[in-house]
Amino acid sequence: MKFGLIVSKQHPAGVSMVDRFREHIDQVRAARDAGFDLIVMGQHFLSTPFQEVQSLPALARLAAEAGPMRVGATVILLPLLNPVDVAEQVATLDVITEGRFVFGVGLGYRDEENEAFGVAAKERVGRLVEGLEVIKRLWTGDEITHHGRFFHLTRARMMLRPVQRPHPPIWFAANNDAAVMRAARLGDTWVINPHAKLAVLERQMGVYRQALRDAGRPFPAELPIIKELYVAPDRRSALKECQPFLEAKYKAYASWGQDKALPEGDSFSHEFAELVADRFIVGDPNDAVREIRRYVERLGANSFIFRIQWPGMEQAKVLRSIELLAKHVFPAFTKG
């Protein structure tokens, strides 16, 4: 069993981002010392109402504190970006991390981002698929000529190679069924989203397994899942302490249209207790152990990536969650 930490880089307007980034450095050090396997960051642009640093330069800095942990981007919004730039940046990060970088990709869902980058929503899948093809070919180091629908290269060669061969692992984010099937065909694994209810994910796991069989591909050795998690000494305190921050985060998600990317019938339009149930992990350490085991048993997940901070939450609570996980949760999965 592996455990990772999302470094939650979104913060309210007006706070010092210099101070917040210093806190992120301390979080990574704490995660390293607590026995986490992985740190990751996601990617958004124009993140109103939040301030947000960009993931790739931030991860390059945090890699200096990561020790033996892997470092990952989950996810990069590949349809918005030039694949040559992404190939060079990811290869650079794989060098910086000495072959411990994880490359996650996803479509994105926000109209603001698509418009800002001049990308039509209907072109996102084509751009993702073609961009990934170009990136993987560039990483071979061979000379390539590519004239596709969106990207053109003539006798191009990228001499910088990733440390990992044939390339860093490619994790595919997927919310709806079509994206899950795409993850099976094109990715090294599906990174399961934190937004859907467990019953929805359980059904989608069947979709994923079938798509792997149809593509003639084996089930991945590592199946990661992202979970919103908050641990306190007792369940009542955990719910009370995290509610204002987690609730505000998902109201922002709803305003961005994130729940529209979920399978039909699911949304974030619930009271907090219902929103949490079978979707997030909130409680005392025993609650966390029990919930993690449910996801292991029902999905086969074996790599859990926790987001334990949301905009406005103070550092002391984040560090306490890391400490409680290390002392009381992780040992339940390492004994014997």
Enumerate the domain spans of the chain: 2-333
Q: Which stretch of DSSP H or E encloses residue 241?
A: helix 235-256
pLDDT tier for residue 182 given thresholds of 50, 70 and 90: very high
pLDDT tier for residue 260 given thresholds of 50, 70 and 90: low
Q: Which CATH class is domain 2-333?
A: alpha beta
pLDDT, mean of residues 211-230: 97
Measured over the CA atoms of residue 297, residue 303, residue 309 and residue 314, the dihedral's sign is positive
Asked whether the predicted pLDDT for residue 323 surpasses 80, the reply is: yes
How many C-beta atoms lie closer than 10 Å to residue 242's C-beta? 26
How many C-beta atoms lie closer than 10 Å to residue 262's C-beta? 18
pLDDT tier for residue 250 given thresholds of 50, 70 and 90: confident
pLDDT, mean of residues 205-209: 98
* Confidence (pLDDT) at 276: 83
Asked whether the predicted pLDDT for residue 125 surpasses 50, the reply is: yes
User: What tens digit of pLDDT does each residue of 145-168 get?
Assistant: 999 999 999 999 999 999 999 999
pLDDT tier for residue 272 given thresholds of 50, 70 and 90: confident
pLDDT tier for residue 258 given thresholds of 50, 70 and 90: low
Measured over the CA atoms of residue 150, residue 154, residue 155 and residue 158, the dihedral's sign is negative
User: What tens digit of pLDDT does each residue of 32-91 get?
Assistant: 999 999 999 999 999 999 999 999 999 999 999 999 999 999 999 999 999 999 999 999
> What share of the chain has pLDDT > 70, as a percent?
94
* Confidence (pLDDT) at 269: 59
Numbers of helices and strands, H then E, in the chain = 11, 13
* Confidence (pLDDT) at 257: 66
Output the DSSP codes for 13-43. TTS-HHHHHHHHHHHHHHHHHHT--EEEE--
Q: Which stretch of DSSP H or E encloses residue 295?
A: helix 285-299
Asked whether the predicted pLDDT for residue 334 surpasses 50, the reply is: yes
pLDDT tier for residue 247 given thresholds of 50, 70 and 90: confident
Asked whether the predicted pLDDT for residue 268 surpasses 60, the reply is: no
Asked whether the predicted pLDDT for residue 274 surpasses 50, the reply is: yes
Q: What is the mean pLDDT of the chain?
A: 94
pLDDT tier for residue 317 given thresholds of 50, 70 and 90: very high
pLDDT tier for residue 275 given thresholds of 50, 70 and 90: confident
Contact 251, 269 (CB under 8 A): no
User: What tens digit of pLDDT does each residue of 3-33 get?
Assistant: 999 999 999 999 999 999 999 999 999 999 9
Q: Tell me phi and psi for residue 115, to 5 degrees.
A: -65, -40
* Confidence (pLDDT) at 336: 47
Asked whether the predicted pLDDT for residue 111 surpasses 80, the reply is: yes
pLDDT, mean of residues 170-199: 95
Asked whether the predicted pLDDT for residue 195 surpasses 90, the reply is: no
